[in-house]
């Protein structure tokens, strides 16, 4: 007999990670190409010597370092096994089956998957023509079943950001008992225009229902260790702690994250070259005739509609793995000039054929 498994899981797909192919250049998962700094590698090695012990379940030292760096109280921080887990845990604390989770589409794949796993109902509001969150339309889509709203800024996979005024107007329209998760996984890569500038930590003081999500996986280069954090009102962090899988933020991750915060300036300096490359790659792709929205993340989006799957396959044949979203476009990670050049050369060559 087949085991009893919730029938509604049958048509929920598993998360599809970026492909790894030996010898190919992977620009599919928004990782950094640089490995950990020597001091961070040393902290990991030191923590490795103690893995016979359970990690600190409260991540007390990391939480207090984060609180200091962000100028909030430790009670305002909850760490998680990657911010992906915090997305899941927010859905767990906010929804029961039938409740609605609202987000833009296309956006981060985890939102619909985790919503359906929880038995809640995803409500997707299309991005604008320019591939930006349509915040007024999202506010219009709030119902009395809405329990949680994700705003992904910059948006994965389009790289676009919202205007600060639009975000403020949106927050003013959201009922104060509906949690808004502002997913800032790519925060460190943002170089906002005046109109795009806002301070999420400040905003969370004003709106107690705002939860800011950040991660050590992207600009901090610790994707393999799995650690992210939420900045929120204690009412939310306390609930997040209740659904936290015990010991899921491992001791290597905690030590590496603390060491990375101490090396913050050096790590964040790396983002400047990615930002410069992002602008170069964007303009070269546009010159070649591609439709590329302005990105504020460490990746660019190319609108390709029906050509998407073939484009990604041909890139793969040329030794570059990118992330296709069938029928829509591709997302390409921006890293070092030499790596970016391999992709740009492929894209140019293809456009000229």
Ligand X SMILES: *Cc1c(COP(=O)(O)O)cnc(C)c1O
Given the rule CB under 6 A, which residues bind ligand X?
Answer: 30, 82-84, 108, 152, 156, 183, 185, 215, 217-218, 223, 228
* Nearer of residues 214 and 346 to ligand X, judged by Cβ: 214
Task: Please report how close the Cβ of residue 150 comes to ligand X at its closest, in angstroms.
Answer: 9
Task: Please report how close the Cβ of residue 49 comes to ligand X at its closest, in angstroms.
Answer: 25
* Nearer of residues 152 and 210 to ligand X, judged by Cβ: 152
Query: In this chain, which residue has its C-beta nearest to ligand X?
Result: 82
* Nearer of residues 31 and 233 to ligand X, judged by Cβ: 31
Q: Which of 205, 91, 203, 183 shows the shortest CA–CA distance to 146? A: 91
Task: Please report how close the Cβ of residue 84 comes to ligand X at its closest, in angstroms.
Answer: 3
* Nearer of residues 229 and 311 to ligand X, judged by Cβ: 229
Q: Which of 301, 271, 288 shows the shortest CA–CA distance to 346? A: 288
* Nearer of residues 30 and 160 to ligand X, judged by Cβ: 30
| Token pair 């009102």: residue | 233
Q: Is the peptide bond before 278 cis (omega within 30 degrees of 0)?
A: no
Task: Please report how close the Cβ of residue 16 comes to ligand X at its closest, in angstroms.
Answer: 14
Task: Please report how close the Cβ of residue 154 comes to ligand X at its closest, in angstroms.
Answer: 8
Ramachandran region of residue 98, left (φ > 0), alpha (ψ -120 to 50) or beta?
Answer: left
């Amino acid at each position: 007999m087949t085991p009893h498994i919730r029938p509604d899981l049958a048509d929920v797909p598993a998360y599809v990670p970026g492909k790894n192919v030996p010898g190919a250049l992977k620009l599919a998962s928004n990782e950094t190409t640089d490995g950990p700094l020597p001091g961070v590698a040393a902290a990991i090695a030191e923590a490795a010597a103690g893995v016979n012990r359970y990690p600190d379940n409260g991540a007390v030292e990391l939480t207090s370092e984060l609180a200091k760096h962000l100028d909030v109280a430790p009670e305002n921080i909850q760490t998680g096994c990657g911010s992906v887990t915090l997305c899941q845990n927010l859905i767990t604390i906010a929804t029961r089956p039938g409740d609605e989770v609202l987000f833009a589409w296309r956006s981060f794949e985890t939102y619909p998957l985790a919503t359906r796993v929880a038995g809640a109902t995803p409500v997707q509001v299309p991005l604008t023509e320019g591939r930006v969150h349509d915040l007024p339309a999202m506010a219009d889509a709030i119902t009395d079943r809405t329990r949680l709203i994700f705003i992904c800024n910059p948006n994965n996979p389009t790289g676009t950001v919202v205007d600060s005024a639009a975000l403020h107007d949106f927050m003013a329209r959201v009922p104060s008992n509906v949690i808004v998760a502002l997913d800032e996984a790519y925060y460190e890569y943002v170089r906002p225009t005046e109109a795009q500038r806002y301070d999420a930590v400040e905003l969370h003081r004003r709106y107690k229902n705002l939860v800011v999500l950040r991660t050590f996986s992207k600009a901090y280069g610790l994707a393999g260790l799995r650690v992210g954090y939420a900045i929120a009102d204690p009412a939310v962090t306390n609930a997040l702690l209740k659904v936290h899988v015990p010991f899921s933020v491992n001791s290597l991750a905690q030590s590496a994250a603390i060491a990375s915060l101490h090396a913050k300036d050096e790590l964040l300096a790396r983002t400047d070259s990615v930002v410069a490359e992002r602008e170069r790659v964007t303009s070269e792709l546009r010159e070649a005739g591609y439709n590329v929205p302005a990105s504020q993340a460490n990746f660019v989006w190319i609108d390709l509609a029906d050509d998407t799957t073939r484009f990604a396959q041909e890139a793969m044949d040329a030794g570059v793995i990118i992330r296709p979203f069938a029928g829509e476009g591709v997302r390409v990670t921006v890293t070092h000039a030499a790596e970016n050049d391999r992709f740009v050369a492929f894209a140019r060559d293809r456009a000229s054929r």
